[in-house]
């Protein structure tokens, strides 16, 4: 398999008032197409920062990031938004669903940005909900669903426009063990059966076991380790 994400000499500097803080130092990383990568590391080590760069939510202060041959570090806000819409799905720790919309409508959200008509949007969202096993909860609002179910809706939303890359920031961080395992199994299936490339930040070594390999960040530097056997 080829390389999907190419990170070259990437650094990220945040300015806090007059003080500049470099939170990522000259990161080099290749993520292969079809990989399921776990990112671990202590709090404040820069995991979210790196993930946001990979997902095109933020731009690096130095270095280059290529995804599927496109230099996303050079894109402006508008182009980056379009690029995200068709290439990346996001899953967050706190699900971040729209509280007023049903599960179905939440999943349809990304499709509003496509040319699909209402019927097609409905159909595709239904397929995504079925894939995460929530077809019978389509009409429920987020507050009528458990945490695990909400996270599955969020995953359906992330995959509904069929992106190649899934970016997950502590997707099980707020879930009990059993729900977490369901979510991780689901991600594993999306990786194995549907070929999604997944980058997942986690604090939990058990969660990392579902990934095909794990990388450690420490104080903004990558500490590569052998894939856990």
Partner 1 sequence: MKYFHLIWAALFRSKTRTILTLLSVIAAFLLFGMLDAVRTSFDQAGQSANGARRLQTGSKLSFIQTLPQSLDAQIARVPGVKSVAYANWFGGAYQDPHNQVFSFAVSDNYLDQYPEIEVSAEARKAFAETRTGILVGETLAKRFHWKIGDKIPLQSTIFPQRDGSKSWNFDIVGFMHAKDKSAGWYDQLVLMHWKYFDEGTPYNRGTVGWYVTSVSDVNQADRVARAIDALSANSDHETRTQTEQAATANWMKQMADIGLIVGSIMGAVFFTLLLLTGNTMMQAVRERTSELAVLKTIGFSSRAVMALVLAESVLLLVLGGAIGLALASVLIPIVSAGSGGMLNLPSVGAGSWALGLTLMVAIGLLVGAPPAWRAMRLNIVDALAGR
Binding site for ligand ATP (CB under 6 A): 14, 16, 23, 41, 43-49
- Residue 161 touches Mg ion, criterion: CB under 5 A: no
Q: What single-letter DSSP state applies at residue 135?
A: G
Q: Residue 99 binds which entry of partner 1, Mg ion, ligand ATP, none, with Cβ cut-offs from 5 to 8 Å by kind?
A: partner 1
Residue with tokens 């990388």: 215
Does the footprint of Mg ion cover residue 45 (CB under 5 A)? no
What are the residues binding partner 1 (CB under 8 A)? 48, 52, 55, 57-58, 77-78, 81-82, 84-86, 90, 92, 96, 98-101, 105, 109-110, 112-113, 118, 157
78 Cβ neighbours under 8 A, 6+ residues apart: none
State in angstroms the smallest separation of the CB of 112 from ligand ATP.
Answer: 28
Among the listed residues 1, 91, 4, the one whose alpha carbon sits nearest the alpha carbon of residue 51: 91
Q: How far is the CB of 116 from ligand ATP (least distance, A)?
A: 34
Q: Which residue is nearest to Mg ion (CB)?
A: 48
Residue of this chain nearest to ligand ATP (CB atom): 48
Least Å distance, CB 81 to Mg ion, is 22
Residue with tokens 């987020």: 142
Residue with smaller CB distance to ligand ATP, 13 or 112: 13
Please state, in angstroms and rounded to a whole number, the distance separating the CA atoms of residues 38 and 18: 34
Report the alpha-carbon distance of residue 10 to residue 43 in Å, rounded. 20
State the DSSP H helix or E strand holding residue 7, giving kind and residue range, or none if neither. Answer: strand 3-16
Sheet holding 88-91, edge to edge: 88-91, 165-169, 197-201, 36-40, 213-218, 221-224
Give the Cα separation of 46 and 27 in Å (integer): 11
Is 48 near Mg ion (CB under 5 A)?
A: yes
CB contact at 8 A, 45 and 218: yes
112 binds, among ligand ATP, Mg ion, partner 1, none (CB under 5 to 8 A by kind): partner 1
Residue 118's binding partner, choosing from ligand ATP, partner 1, Mg ion, none, with beta-carbon cut-off 5 to 8 A by kind? Answer: partner 1
């Amino acid at each position: 398999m080829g390389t999907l994400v190419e990170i070259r000499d990437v650094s990220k500097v945040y300015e806090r008032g007059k003080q500049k803080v470099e939170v990522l130092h000259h990161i080099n990383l290749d993520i292969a197409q079809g990989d399921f990568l776990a990112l671990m590391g202590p709090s404040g080590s820069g995991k979210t920062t790196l993930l946001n760069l990979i997902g095109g939510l933020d731009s690096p202060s130095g270095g280059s990031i290529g995804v599927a041959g496109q230099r996303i570090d050079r894109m402006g806000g508008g182009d980056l938004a379009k690029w995200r819409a068709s290439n990346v799905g996001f899953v967050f720790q706190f699900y971040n669903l729209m509280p007023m919309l049903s599960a179905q409508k939440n999943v349809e959200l990304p499709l509003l940005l496509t040319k699909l008509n209402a019927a097609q949007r409905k159909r595709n969202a239904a397929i995504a909900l079925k894939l995460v096993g929530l077809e019978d909860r389509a009409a429920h609002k987020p507050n009528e669903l458990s945490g695990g179910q909400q996270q599955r809706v969020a995953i359906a939303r992330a995959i509904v426009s069929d992106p190649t890359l899934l970016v997950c920031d502590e997707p099980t961080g707020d879930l009990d063990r059993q729900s977490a395992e369901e979510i991780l199994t689901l991600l594993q299936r999306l990786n194995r059966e549907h070929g999604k490339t997944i980058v997942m930040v986690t604090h939990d070594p058990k969660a990392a076991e579902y990934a095909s390999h794990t990388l450690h960040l420490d104080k903004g530097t990558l500490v590569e380790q052998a894939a856990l056997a």
